[in-house]
Amino acid sequence: MNSPDTLSLQALVDHFESYLAFDDREKHLLAARVTIRNIRRRQAILQEGFQCKHYSFVVSGCLKMFAVDAKGTEHNLQFAADTNLPAARWIADIGSLHSGKPSKLFIEAIEPGVIAQIEKDDLYFLYTNIPKLDRIFKVIVESNYVELQNRVLQNFSSTAQERYIAFLEQYPALAQRLPNTQIASYLGITPEFLSKVRKEISSKQSKP
C-alpha cells in the first residue's frame, strides 16, 4: 500500500510530467530532495523577518501569501491551491529565497492540507542534474509574473467589479472555497464592498 508521503510525492511528479516526462533516475533524484509536510489551518509556512528557504508545492489545501501594513491590515498577494492551474500550485517569496534576505511577507494555510517543499540548495542541485526541471520552473515563474502584471494593470485600470469577475474567471474553484475576507483582501476592497459587488452582479444576471 502506498503511504501518504508516497502519494504526495507522486502528485508532485505528475505535476512536473504535465510539462515534460521524467525517467526513473530523475524521479529518484527528485524524491531524495523533497520534504512532505502536513499543515494545519492557519499554520505559518513563512513569517515576516525570516528568510524564505523553500519553494512549496500544494498537494492539497490552500495557502496565501500576504503583507501586513502599519495598521495591521492584511493584503493578500497570492493564493496557491490544489487547482487545475499548474503554476497556481507553487508559492514562495522568491526575492527572499534567492537573496537570502529576511522576508517582508507571510505565507499561511487557509485550509489544512499537504505540501511538498524543496530547499534552495536542493533546487539548484536538481536544476543541474535534471535540466528539464530548470525549464519547467522558468515556465512556472513566467506564468506567475504574467499574472502579477495583469493584477497591477487591473488595480489602476479596472473597477472592483471587473477585478472580481477576472478573479472568478481565473480561479473559479477558489471562489467557492475562500471566505469573502480573503477574496476582498486579494482584490484590495473591504468584505462589505465585495458583498455589494456580488449583489450588483447577481442583479444584472437575473434581469431578462
What residue segments make up the domains of the chain, in order of their start? 4-130
Q: Sorting pLDDT into bands at 50, 70 and 90, what band is 144? A: confident
Q: Count other C-beta atoms under 10 Å from residue 205's C-beta.
A: 7
**Please, what is the average pLDDT of the chain?**
92
Whether 1 has a pLDDT exceeding 70, the answer reads no
Contact 180, 194 (CB under 8 A): yes
Q: Which fold has domain 4-130?
A: Jelly Rolls (2.60.120)
Q: What is the CA radius of gyration of the chain?
A: 18
Highest mean pLDDT among 38-52, 153-167, 184-198: 38-52
Q: Sorting pLDDT into bands at 50, 70 and 90, what band is 202? A: confident
> What are the residues whose beta carbons fall under 8 Å from the beta carbon of 79, sequence distance 6 or more?
62, 63, 64, 65, 88, 110, 171, 174, 178, 182, 186
Q: Which pTM does this prediction carry?
A: 0.91
